[in-house]
Amino acid sequence: MTVFLVDLEAVETRYTGQWKTHVPELLSSQGHDVYVIEGPTDIPAATTPGAFLNFGGTNIYKARQVEEMGRLFTSGNVKQGDHFLFTDAWHPGIINLKYMSELLGIKVTIHALWHAGSYDPQDFLGRLIGDAPWVRHAEASFYQAIDHNYFATDFHIDLFAETFSYVNKGSPNTLWKNNLLEKKKIVRTGWPMEYMPEMFEPFKAIPKRDLIIFPHRLAPEKQVEIFRDLKETMYQYEFIVCQDTPLNKIQYHMLLASAKIVFSANLQETLGISCYEGALVGAVPLVPDRLSYSEMYDDVFKYPSEWTESWDSYIKHKDGLMALIVAHMENYEQNLPKIQQQADSLHDHFFSATNLLANIK
């Protein structure tokens, strides 16, 4: 049996850089023969502004992967019982793979990790395309072609299932959701990021300062304007928006390690890696009690969701948010054991791919 890994293009500032080496090593450590299906290296390096990847470049990358999958089938290298793992479920090649597997009579098992889609109104697809039939039916088709659909949080699973319960018009709304659960096509698993505690260990010795950072993308759903307003008011502390200055990964990690608070007012988050990174180096992850944060973080690190549900709501509750920031700053040392416990819990439940690996056998 071979595991064919259909990977994501590596972006130096994203975790996809680490996934290039870690995911194949992780699969190999489980005793699997691994074949990595990559795309070309000459695609645009810069991401589309505010996005996770480059919207044009990612299609160049995926198109080359589709070609290679076709050649692997026609050359006889794909065998009955092999597995294909897509580290991004939004991949047209999933349909191409299913087409070849079914028509050539070579049964393979398809695994894929869902990051986002049109079913999330705050995602690029949801915001710019919405519920257009082509995108909703494409995602439904991906889901049906995939044998094991992986999601990192229950929040993400609910978001997906609630949207697609309406796909079958004229049928009970529960039909699709029940179908998902009965076929056990959905799996809640941590992402394959077991390497992170070791990666951040060298940065723990960096001295802390009264710094609060905003580590998120500069996209509307991240609400950076709230952070900038806090900076103008709370002049006793240092506030830095990471993407205001070009940083390589080492520089970003050093900045993160010197901060006492990592702040979020996000309106979209199906997992959220940067707040976990902050906790690994002893920063308070200050997050709203909504989205994936509700299930991931202890109460001491969450503030009421309504405080940042919109700009107007933020202005109404600004004093409460500022008081909470001051409390975390003033009691930083006392909170260190709680931050460590939080980091350990996140690692065990959300950043370790145990449930994914259990399905590859």
254 lies in the same domain as 157: no
What distance in Å separates the CA atoms of residue 343 and residue 356, rounded to the nearest whole number?
21
pLDDT at 36 over 90: yes
Q: Does residue 26 share a domain with residue 108?
A: yes
pLDDT score of 47:
54
Task: State the sign of the Cα–Cα–Cα–Cα dihedral 119, 125, 127, 131.
Answer: negative
**Same domain for 207 and 176:** no
pLDDT value at position 45? 66
Rounded Cα distance, 346 and 279, in Å = 9
Residues 206 and 253 in one domain: yes
Output 121 or 45, whichever has higher pLDDT.
121
Q: How confident is the model at residue 249 (pLDDT cuts 50, 70, 90)?
A: confident
Structure confidence at residue 183 (pLDDT): 52
> Do 200 and 188 reside in the same domain of the chain?
no
Q: What is the pLDDT of residue 128?
A: 85
- The verdict on 31 and 127 lying in the same domain is yes
**Full residue range of the structural domain in which residue 245 is found:** 196-350
Query: What mean pLDDT is reported for the chain?
Result: 90
Q: What pLDDT is stored for residue 18 in this prediction?
A: 83
**Are residues 234 and 181 part of one domain?**
no
**pLDDT tens digits along 155-205:** 999 888 888 765 444 444 444 455 544 457 899 999 999 999 999 999 999
Residues 256-275 have pLDDT tens digits of 999 999 999 999 999 999 99
Q: What is the CATH number of the domain that holds 63?
A: 3.40.50
Q: Is the pLDDT of residue 48 over 90?
A: no
Question: pLDDT at position 279, please?
Answer: 97
CA atoms within 13 A on the CB side of 188: 16
171 and 260 fall within a common domain: no
19 or 239: which leads in pLDDT: 239
Phi/psi of residue 88, nearest 5 degrees: -140, 115
Please give the model's pTM, rounded to 2 decimal places: 0.89
178 and 31 within one domain: yes
Distance CA 135, CA 126 (A): 9
Give me the pLDDT at residue 169, please.
Answer: 45
Same domain, 188 and 208: no
Domain count, the chain: 2
Percent of the chain with pLDDT over 90: 74
Distance CA 184, CA 182 (A): 5
pLDDT in tens, 78-90: 999 999 999 999 9
CA angle 33, 82, 67 (to 5 degrees): 95
Tokens of 352: 């370790």
Residues 190 and 45 in one domain: yes
The pLDDT assigned to 52 comes to: 53
pLDDT at residue 32, as a whole number: 96
Q: At 335, which CATH number?
A: 3.40.50.2000
Q: Are residues 214 and 183 in the same domain?
A: no
Q: Give the mean model confidence (pLDDT) for residues 44-51.
A: 56
High-pLDDT (> 70) share of the chain, %: 91
DSSP 43-68: S--SPPTTSSS-TTHHHHHHHHHHHH
Angstrom distance (rounded) from CA 254 to CA 203: 6
